[in-house]
Amino acid sequence: MPFGLKNAGATYQRLMDKVFKEVIGQDIEVYVDDMVAKSENGRSHCEALRRVFRILRRHQLRLNPEKCSFGVQAGRFLGYMLTERGIEANPEKCRAVLNMRSPQNVKEIQQLMGKVVALSRFVSRISDIATPVLDTLKKGRNFAWTLECEEAFLRLKAMLATPPILIRPKVGQPLQLYISITENAINSALVQEREKEQCPMYFISKTLQGPERSIIVRTDLPIQQVLRKPDLAGRMVAWSVQLSEFNITFEKRGPIKAQALADFITKLTIEQEQIEGEWYLLVDGSSNQTGSGAGVILEGPNGVLVEQSLHFNFKASNNQAEYEALLAGMRLVLEIEAKRLITKSDSKLITRQVNGEYQAKDPRLAKYKERAKTMAASFESFKLLHVPRDQNKRADLLAKLASTRRGLQRLVIHENINTPKIEKPEVQCNEQGRTWMEPLVEYLKEGKLPVDLAEAGKLRKEAPKYALIGQQLYRRGFSSPLLRCVDPQEAEYVIKEVHEGVCGTHIGGRALAGKIARTGYYWPSLKADCMDYVKRCDTCQRFADNHQAPAEQMHAVMSPWPFHKWGIDILGPFPRAGSPSHLANLSF
């Protein structure tokens, strides 16, 4: 093809990929007109060259002998040094940076950064290190080489004086990816463990620009929990599904086993806030003629503040409202898996009963007391203190607003409770078989996979479609809401209730499955179970609309006059053997 065209390089690269598709990535690597044949020993090297030359001869391609080298232990390819140890930085490029003086103007900074970027894959956290130097290139600023720029420049020189050797990956061994996100850059390091030592394979660093720096997300959730949150946006869901195609496991960072990663891990490990400590819960209940409600305020050791307002859709006394507020607050703390709790209430009766100082003579209050003690036993440390009303003003205000349903604030979590907590039965199942949800729950909660590799891969691909909230599994989709996953026994009850319950209309199987999904339930065999249930429904079989036409014997249709109807059948083609290849059968 003619030279000078914009797509000449891409077209030639596609041609080389097509020509060497049998051996590329195994015996040879090709980039436009640069090729390198690779092998682990001399004997396999000759076999690799034989396969490469056979392909060249087949496609009538020729090599320039003056530009070819055979049997070398090391060589330069695409600006890098390829050796038995791995990929090394070009000494000439490193020497060019080491011999540079401190930049005196913008043009020299551009020359410095151009040389550094060419070696960026050998320098960890290069974007963070070079941030002071890059800031001098911003528009609207006068050139000023500060002390921070000089320190960054000397640090780049020190790291390029002894660049690490990047190893090539071994098939079958896991890869480890370390990720670090700072206010100025995103950094990552890809390593693989060799003889109990983590060896680097690649360093990636990206500088955040403009609006990217203005968005700061602070979270104590690891990436595993972030990608499995139920309220992910569409793009995050797509990323989660794409990442599920790979065999990725999320682990906490362990001990560092390589000096090459010391600098990266030192900056990666930030001082995390101490989230383990005592949590403080303020509760209060209110009951009047217009209604009853409760206010809950939860304060964490790391500055977390949660305010909740509860409105009761049932009649409750003031003491009952106080107990409901206490149970709701304790349930909230258990959901966030806190272990140490100090609860404060302005009700002397409630605090003394729970602490065992007063007896509960009212049967309903006695049930509340037992439920509170049962939940308190779930904490490592639990204290219930009585405080004056003036020290519990905020919770008292939330309770009054909830009871009157006036002045509701958007920053407060609101919830309506239809029945008292003591009236909800606690069902305990002593014998229960393993359901289809347990492998998903174990994987989402503990990262546990089946022993069978095929089942493990299938489970890993299906897991992003589900979310674990508390101890309940939910199915999620791009356009549908969260669907509660149920076991076979619950599924049978759901089908029966929707199909022939109070609002059941004995609809068909497909319509029944769609109605159950809109109601908010899911299990894998939803459609098949609905179709089978409709077939077994006695009412549907007795009174369903069937074909009511009477049966008749088949009889011939007579034509009113000759040639009223024509019919033609064309057969063929047939193999030629001295006879026509097609036949036509005409009837009337």
CA 461 to chain CA mean position, Å = 11
According to DSSP, residue 308 is labeled E
Position 579 scores a pLDDT of 58
Pick from 23-27, 137-141, 400-404, 576-580: least confident? 576-580
CA 99 and chain centroid, separation:
46
Cβ distance 414 to 293 under 8 Å?
Answer: no
What does the pLDDT average to over 248-277?
Answer: 50
Return the pLDDT at 369.
87
- CA dihedral sign, ordered 397, 400, 402, 406: negative
> What is residue 223's predicted lDDT score, i.e. its pLDDT?
60
* Interatomic CA distance for residues 478 and 240, integer angstroms: 12
Helix (H, G, I), strand (E, B) or coil at 341: strand
Q: Give the pLDDT band of residue 429 (cuts 50, 70, 90).
A: very low
Q: Give the model's confidence band at 268: pLDDT under 50 very low, under 70 low, under 90 confident, else very high.
A: very low
Q: pLDDT-based confidence at 270, cuts 50/70/90? A: very low
* Least confident residue range of 222-226, 228-232, 341-345, 580-584: 228-232
Query: What are the domain boundaries of the chain?
Result: 7-71, 91-210, 279-417, 437-541
Position 364 pLDDT exceeds 80? yes
Q: Chain-wide mean pLDDT for the chain?
A: 76
Span of 195-204, 209-218, 350-359, 572-581 with lowest mean pLDDT: 209-218
- Please compute the mean of the pLDDT values over residues 447-458 and round it to a whole number: 86
pLDDT at 580 over 60: no
DSSP-assigned states of every residue in 59-98: TT----GGG---S-S-EEETTEEE-SS-EE--HHHHHHHH
Name the pLDDT band for 507 (thresholds 50, 70, 90).
confident
Type of residue at 102: S
pLDDT band for position 275 (cuts 50, 70, 90): very low
Q: What is the pLDDT of residue 542?
A: 81
Residue 186 — φ and ψ, nearest 5°?
Answer: -120, 125
293 phi and psi angles, rounded to 5 deg = -165, 180
CA distances from 31 to 51, 91, 439, 568 (A): 18, 22, 45, 63
Whether the per-residue pLDDT at 390 is higher than 90: the answer is: no
Please state which architecture CATH assigns to domain 91-210.
2-Layer Sandwich (3.30)
Binned at pLDDT 50, 70 and 90, residue 529 comes out as: very high
Report the CATH architecture of 437-541: Orthogonal Bundle (1.10)
pLDDT of residue 532: 92
Cis before 573 (ω within 30):
yes
Looking at per-residue confidence, does 534 or 175 come out higher? 534
Higher pLDDT, 392 or 372: 372
pLDDT band at 269 (very low <50, low <70, confident <90, very high): very low
What is the 8-class DSSP label of residue 502?
T
Q: Give tens-digit pLDDT for 81-133.
A: 777 777 887 788 888 888 888 888 888 888 888 888 887 777 777 777 888 88
- Please give the distance of CA 139 from its chain centroid, rounded to a whole number: 39
pLDDT, residue 530, reads 92
Domain at 279-417: CATH architecture: 2-Layer Sandwich (3.30)
**Is 330 exposed, middle or buried (CB count within 10 Å of its CB: 0-12, 13-18, 19+)?**
buried
